[in-house]
Structure 1
Amino acid sequence: MTNAAIIILAGTESHSDLGRLVNGLEAAREFAENPDDDLELIFDGAGTQWIPELEDEAHDYHDLYQSVSEEAAACDYCAGAFGVDDAVDDAGVVTIDDNNGHPSIRSLIGDDYEIITF
């Protein structure tokens, strides 16, 4: 059994950011498809901006996102800071605020998660 925390930090501004997002979602799908693995998929920082974009059915990677969206969570503070808090709520994505409004990386490490950032 593997515990993996995939954290999407890439914003939406460049082609390389899109590449990082897709690589993160592909990695998340690989873990999600293995019933022995435990996955946390966290959109943090500028990465929170992807949620409303990926919720759009016309987005090229909507289906990939949908394959792991049940595992998705977002940084509460960052969703507000990047102006997507309403869209995150509308999408039904859980927000995490256990470390002064942010996800606790320390807690994930304490729970034996491997931290993978994209």
Structure 2
Amino acid sequence: MVNAAIVVLAGTESHSDTGRLVNGLEAAREFAENEDDELELIFDGAGTQWIEELEDEDHDYHDLYRSVKDEAAVCDYCASAFDADAAVEDAGIVQIDENDGHPSIRSLVSDDYEIITF
């Protein structure tokens, strides 16, 4: 069994950001498909902006996103800071605020999660 936390930090501005997002989603799907693994998929920082785009059924990576959406959470503070609150709420994704409005990376490490950032 593996505990993995995939953290998507890449914004939406560039082709390289899209590449980082896709690599993160592909890694998340690989863990999600293994029933013995535990996965946390966290959209943090500028990564919170992806929710609105990925919720669009016409987006190239919508299906990949849907395959791991149930595992997804969003940084509460960053969703607000990057004006993604409404999209996150509409998508029904959990907002995490364990550490001054942010996810607690320390808690994940304490629970033996490998932290992988994209």
The normalised TM-score by structure 2 is 1.00
Q: Which runs of 5+ in 2 are unaligned?
A: none
Per the alignment, residue 16 of structure 1 pairs with: 16
Per the alignment, residue 99 of structure 2 pairs with: 99
Per the alignment, residue 79 of structure 1 pairs with: 79
Cα deviation, residue 69, structure 1: 0.1
RMSD across aligned positions (CA): 0.2
Which consecutive segments of 4 or more residues in structure 1 shift more than 3 A?
none
Partner Cα distance (1:51, 1:90) in 2: 10
The normalised TM-score by structure 1 is 1.00
Give the percent of matched residue pairs that are identical in Structure 1 and Structure 2.
81
Mapping 1:1-118, distance limit 5 Å? 1-118=1-118
Letter paired with 1:110:
S
Q: Which runs of 5+ in 1 are unaligned?
A: none
1:6-26 deviation digits (Å, cap 9, x = unpaired): 000000000000000000000
Cα deviation, residue 113, structure 1: 0.1
Partner Cα distance (1:96, 1:48) in 2: 12
1:47-67 deviation digits (Å, cap 9, x = unpaired): 000001000000000000000
Q: How many residues align?
A: 118
Give 3-state SS (helix, strand or coil) of 2:6's partner. Answer: strand
Letter paired with 1:89:
E
Cα deviation, residue 37, structure 1: 0.1
